[in-house]
Structure 1
Amino acid sequence: MSFESEIKRRRTFAIISHPDAGKTTLTEKLLLFGGAIHVAGAVKSNKIKKTATSDWMEIEKQRGISVATSVMGFEYRDYKINILDTPGHQDFAEDTYRTLTAVDSVIIVVDVAKGVEAQTRKLMNVCRMRNTPVIIFVNKLDREGRDSFDLLDELEAELGIQVCPLSWPISMGASFKGVYNIYEQNLHLYTPNKQAISEAISFSDINNPELENHIGEMNAIKLREDLEIVNGVYPEFDSEKYLAGELAPVFYGSALNNFGVKELLDCFVEVAPSPLPVQAIEREISPYEDAFTGFIFKIHANMDPNHRSCIAFVKICSGKFERNVNYKHVRHGKMMRFSSPTAFMAQKKETVDEAYAGDIVGLPDTGTFKIGDTLTSGEQLHFKGLPSFSPEMFKYIENADPMKTKQLEKGIAQLMDEGVAQLFINQYNNRKIIGTVGQLQFEVIQYRLLHEYGAQCRWESVSLFKACWIESDDEAELENFKKRKAQYMAIDKEGRDVFLADSSYVLQMAQNDFKNIRFHFTSEF
């Protein structure tokens, strides 16, 4: 297969939603259709022994939530599909935002009963900033939920995007009969089955009296009326508008019962974009360039707890990545080669000899990489737009077992490299402070330190309002500031100065009193 057609057949996308909308279950069913797994696991794992493929961390299995983005690749028809299943919980939104920089399109999962929720809105804003193409999957139709037209109105109003239904539900809840696939003009009747796939019945003429035999007279009348309204009110599917991020196709189904997922996948591989150009600070990079470029968007410690290994995830932006070939690590300015790059099926990985633009490759990391690092065939490039947050919650981290000091140090260092939280060392008392965007991250850090590194930590509360990175061209004023605010000064893991303000008033006064100091609320400046 030619270099160009290899890239054209790539589809790299993220699945995003509010927690509990069914994101990981949908991922699981997509893998089932791709033949990547043979039995779909469950997210809620209290009674079901097989857990979801993408939720492989021990804490994810216990809680039934995703706490880290999983990367999975499989072949479907003639396409190579890379799915990134992201955490829905807002405490891990940072991981999700970074993941959205590495995908070409997005599937948003919406619960039919709950409609658009807070986290969905936030994630949609990130997609809109980048004009990412979006497909919406309305899930859980086997339960009672909102009227379809009301839900479409809400999607348009809340997500700020025009919608275009490509399938339509026939009733819902206990009387759910199936969906009519507008895109392919066929009928799918609902039979609840968590492993098998329902067959389609071709129906190009919706007025065919045969329809009554399949779904009953009342449902047939309502379906015809609904489809007439849909055709009158909503625009026809326009591929260009979808690719520009202006139009969102909508599909209906029940991921848990394997229903509506195949229609979604079949349409997705046809309409979704192949790898798109990526904007670097220096220039725009086309995926079809011969030279390899890529950036690190995620680092994960302990994918294999037996080896204590870190894996850096690289999104390939252009060209072809090859094993054992020298590539330039731009930040370090040195050439590196990788003897065991890996492709993923969540935690399971296999060594790859080559990968193309659009693919995600894992590189073994011994502390060489940071999130946002660039790898190239030799060109000096820097990719932008990998956000790093200013934490909103802070706690002192203390060693609860002095015999395990080394393990704790290593655990903290590796988990901070993942970007799950930030480490600050207070210059006044030399104590370590962990900053996060949510309470749940503290629990995850404590759990992972204990179960992955054998180190015990305990938390002590500290009352802080905001962490801001400071810099100034006026050395004297900077020194004066650091003396005046000595007990609030810290350094981050890069050794940069950070001011830990304990209230908004203190921060405001500092900004007013020291005009020549720049206060940054993200670590990218």
Structure 2
Amino acid sequence: MTTAGPVTAPSADVLREADRRRTFAVISHPDAGKSTLTEALALHARVISEAGAVHGKAGRRGVVSDWMEMEKARGISITSAALQFAYGDAVVNLLDTPGHADFSEDTYRVLSAVDSAVMLLDAAKGLEPQTLKLFDVCRHRGIPVITFVNKWDRPGRDALELCDELVERIGLQPMPLTWPVGAAGDFRGVLDRRDGHFIRYSRTVGGATAAGEQRLDPDGARAEEGDGWTRAVEESDLLAASGGDFDLERFLDASATPVLFGSAVLNFGVRHLLDLLVELAPRPTPRVDVRTLPRPLDAPFSAFVFKVQTGMDPAHRDQVAFARVCSGVFERGMVVTNATTGKPFATKYAQQVFGQQRSTLDTAYPGDVIGLVNATALHVGDTLFAGRPPVRFPGLPSFAPAHFAVARPADLSRAKQFRRGIEQLASEGVVQVLRSDRRGDGTPVFAAVGPMQFEVATHRLDAEFKSPVRLERLPYTVVRRLPDLDHRGVLDSRGHEVVTRADGTHLALFTDSTALAVLRRLHPEVVLEPLVAGTD
């Protein structure tokens, strides 16, 4: 098989199509309403006719982005999902992310593939720990952030207090574009700060369809809402006096954030958010390759794989590699090169993904996310390209694990399925799979950022590969890279352990930081290096 030449398209066509793309992720602390907001956005774009709810009434569908059985049962997102849909003349690529801190590594990979992010805050809780961690990743990558204060239909904190918290805790200047009329729990609508009008929302049954909107001029709002409207106007004036008016440059350089108020479960304020994303969110820009050279959008096709997932379709345990298109035009069937292996890869089975649903994808442009099916040769961080010269984008670093467990098949007659499942989980990055000479190849060591990753791994081994597994937790919590294997004997003799990662890196495991400090004091000749965390 030879690599086909790059698909050529007029430069103006590629740039015009790229300009239509809006690729963003939704980030939040668990239970802030992220998956509900994701589906509400799809509802307002009219690509679904009725919204489900994560904790909905009996008989209602689960949200389209939560397709894994564990997600449906627990009502949380534990894997990222891609949704693509048209809205007006724009093409929206919306990436839902895991909310739970144990899946930070998956979220980091998703954030490597987007141009902006929506930071979702619970009106009663404000900035929470996982939100802070995810924002730090956005800051590190220079990703502009739009803030949506959710659940304003429930009792919560003061709106000005929430804005002050953005400044005090993360140094991000709030620039509210809407302002709530009525305190949290008494949500009457919002003041549109760009034209001074009042937008009143009307509820629909269970929030299953798009909320109705009525727009009133300031005089009409004052007559109908009285003190509530007056207070909203006064607070809006206060924001203007303190530098809270919208500044596009500050948004794009990620030093300030537009803020909107609403309720995802009732679909209040969601249309405003979608319109804002289409109007203001950054378009795709040239991505820097490993040589630190920006790859022009109209260069021949290139993309990088940021996620690999198996089992999305219960009828077929096929593997889907999600790739962000960085340049050029993609056409289904083209043969591209995997920069990691130098080998050709045929793209016959390319699909557009909408949650668990799929449809054949024929073309894609910079900013789009494509799903490549039966992509067993692809791994997270791989670069795909067409034509010459070759291109390779920076890989995606692994987080330092803090939890370790030995995995053993509970049913030895299923050992073959166990090994196949382990290989699959490792390729997807569900857990890091380490080899231990002390324990043998038949009993790999799982390493995870958070313990819930172990639950996902054991569930999938049982459900997808029919290979139940027993986990034996190990006492280690600290890991360091061991560049010189000659020092292995010192570590093994002192009760620590050395394991090997799939890329050949040797890792030294310690029970805690004290054990690490003692070893360094007794054996200063042993060189140990920290692992690079995802946000370093």
Q: Name the CA distance, whole Å, in 1 between partners of 2:389 and 2:54.
A: 43
Query: Does 2:40 correspond to 1:26?
Result: no
Task: Indicate yes or no: 2:80 matched with 1:69.
Answer: yes
Q: Is the 1:143–1:172 contact (alpha carbons within 8 Å) kept by the matching residues of 2?
A: no
Structure 2 CA distance for partners of 1:50 and 1:516, relative to 1, 3 Å = same
Residue 326 of structure 2: which of 314, 317, 324 is its match? 317
Secondary structure of the 1:121 match is: helix
1:330 aligned residue (336, 339, 347): 339
Partner of 2:427: 417
Could you report, residue by residue, the CA deviation over 1:54-85 in whole angstroms, capped at 9, with x for unpaired residues?
Answer: 00111100000000000000000100000001
Name the counterpart of 2:9: none
CA distance in 1, matches of 2:240, 2:533: 49
Amino acid at match of 1:91: D
Change (3 A) 1:481 1:293: farther
The aligned residue for residue 453 of structure 1 is: 465
User: Is 1:273 the equivalent of 2:282?
Assistant: yes
Tell me the distance in 2 between the aligned counterparts of 1:308 and 1:160. Answer: 45
- The answer as to 2:436 corresponding to 1:426 is yes
Counterpart of 1:440? 452
Contact 2:25–2:97 (8 Å) recurs in 1 = yes
- 3-state DSSP of counterpart to 1:372: coil
Instruction: Name which of structure 1's ranges 46-55 and 405-414 shifts more when overlaid on structure 2.
Output: 46-55
Give matches, 1:195-274, under 5 Å: 195-203=209-217, 206=218, 208=219, 210-215=220-225, 217-274=226-283
| Deviations 1:410-436 (CA, angstroms, capped at 9, x unpaired) | 112111211121111210121321111
Contact 2:15–2:298, Cα closer than 8 Å, also in 1: no
Which has the higher mean CA deviation after the structures are superposed, 454-463 or 82-91? 454-463
Q: How far apart, in 2, do the equivalents of 1:305 and 1:469 lie?
A: 38
User: What amino acid is the match of 2:210?
Assistant: A
Say which is worse superposed, 288-297 or 254-263, in terms of deviation: 288-297
Give the 3-state SS of the residue equivalent to 2:95 in structure 1. strand
Q: How does 1:119-138 map to 2 (within 5 A)?
A: 119-138=130-149
Aligned match of 2:90: 79
Amino acid at match of 1:243: L
Separation in structure 2 between the aligned mates of residue 280 and residue 438 of structure 1, nearest angstrom: 31
Task: Look up the equivalent residue of 1:89 and give its one-letter code.
Answer: H
**Paired residues for 1:118-517 under 5 Å:** 118-193=129-204, 194=207, 195-203=209-217, 206=218, 208=219, 210-215=220-225, 217-377=226-386, 378-384=388-394, 386-430=396-440, 431-472=443-484, 477=486, 488-511=497-520, 513=523, 515=525, 517=527
Distance 1:425 1:344 in 2: 34
The match for 1:521 among 505, 511, 531 is 531
> Contact conserved, 1:46 with 1:62, CA < 8 A, in 2?
no
In the superposition, relative to structure 1, how do residues 225 and 505 fare at CA in structure 2: closer, same or farther (>3 Å)? closer
Cα–Cα, structure 1 residues 144 and 479, in superposed 2: closer, same or farther, change >3 Å?
Answer: closer
**3-state SS, counterpart of residue 471 of structure 1:** coil
- Give yes or no for the alignment of 1:49 onto 2:63: no
- How far off is 1:275 after superposition? 0.6
Q: Distance in 1 between matches of 2:473 and 2:65?
A: 33
| Distance 1:46-1:432 versus aligned 2 partners, 3 A rule | farther
- Using the TM superposition, give the Cα deviation of residue 320 of structure 1 relative to its aligned residue in structure 2, in angstroms: 1.2
Cα offsets for 1:454-474 (capped at 9, x unmatched): 1101111221132333224xx
Give yes or no for contact 1:427–1:487 (8 Å, CA) kept in 2: no
> Residue 497 of structure 1: CA displacement?
2.3
Q: Give 1:387 deviation, angstroms.
A: 2.4
**1:519 Cα offset (Å):** 2.5
How far did 1:511 drift?
Answer: 4.7
Q: Which one-letter code corresponds to 2:510 in the other structure?
A: A
Q: What is the match of residue 95 of structure 1?
A: 106
In 2, Cα distance between equivalents of 1:145 and 1:82: 31
Structure 1 window deviating more from structure 2 (7-16 vs 405-414): it is 405-414
Measure, in 2, the Cα distance between the counterparts of 1:449 and 1:429: 20
Higher relative contact order (CA 8 A, sep 6+): 2
CA positional deviation for 1:453: 1.6
Deviation at 1:226, TM superposition (A): 1.9
Tell me if the contact between 2:289 and 2:394 (Cα under 8 Å) persists in the aligned partners: yes
Assess if the C-alpha contact under 8 Å between 1:397 and 1:460 holds in 2: yes
Query: Which AA in structure 2 matches 1:403?
Result: S
Instruction: Give the fraction of aligned pairs with identical amino acids, expressed as a percent.
Output: 37
One-letter code aligned to 2:352:
A
Aligned residue type for 2:155? E
Gaps of 5+ in 1: none
Q: Deviations over 1:239-263 (max 9, x none)?
A: 1111111110000001100100101
Note if contact 1:7-1:287 (Cα within 8 Å) is conserved in structure 2. no
Counterpart-to-counterpart distance in 2, 1:222 and 1:228: 10
Give the Å deviation of 1:213: 3.5
Aligned-residue offset at 1:14: 0.2
3-state SS of paired residue (2:91): strand
Deviations 1:379-415 (A, max 9, x none): 3333226220121011111111122212221112111
- Counterpart position of 2:6: none
Structure 2 counterpart of 1:381, one-letter code: V
**Are residues 221 and 498 of structure 1, via their aligned partners in 2, closer, same or farther at CA, if it must alter by over 3 Å?**
closer
Given that 2:43 and 2:210 are in contact with CA atoms closer than 8 Å, whether structure 1 keeps it comes out as: no
Letter in structure 2 aligned against 1:265: L
Report the CA distance between 1:201 and its aligned residue.
1.1
Tell me, in whole angstroms, the C-alpha distance in 1 between the residues paired with 2:214 and 2:201. 10
After superposition, give the CA deviation of every residue in 1:210-259 in whole Å (9 maximum; x if it has no partner): 223432x2223222322221222233211111111111000000110010
Q: Residue 458 and residue 188 in structure 1: after superposition, are their counterparts in 2 closer, same or farther (change >3 A)? A: same
Describe the superposition over 1:71-122 as per-residue Cα deviations: whole angstroms up to 9, x where unpaired: 0000001000000010111011111111111000000000111111111111
Secondary structure (helix, strand or coil) at the match of 1:59 reads helix
Aligned length: 517
TM-score normalised by length of structure 2: 0.91
Aligned-pair Cα RMSD in Å: 2.2
* Structure 1 CA distance for aligned equivalents of residues 244 and 125 of structure 2: 25
**CA–CA distance in structure 2, aligned partners of residues 479 and 457 of structure 1:** 29
Matched residue type, 1:438 = G
Taking a change above 3 Å as real, the CA distance of residues 136 and 108 of structure 1, as seen in their structure-2 partners, is: same
Match of residue 12 from structure 1: 23
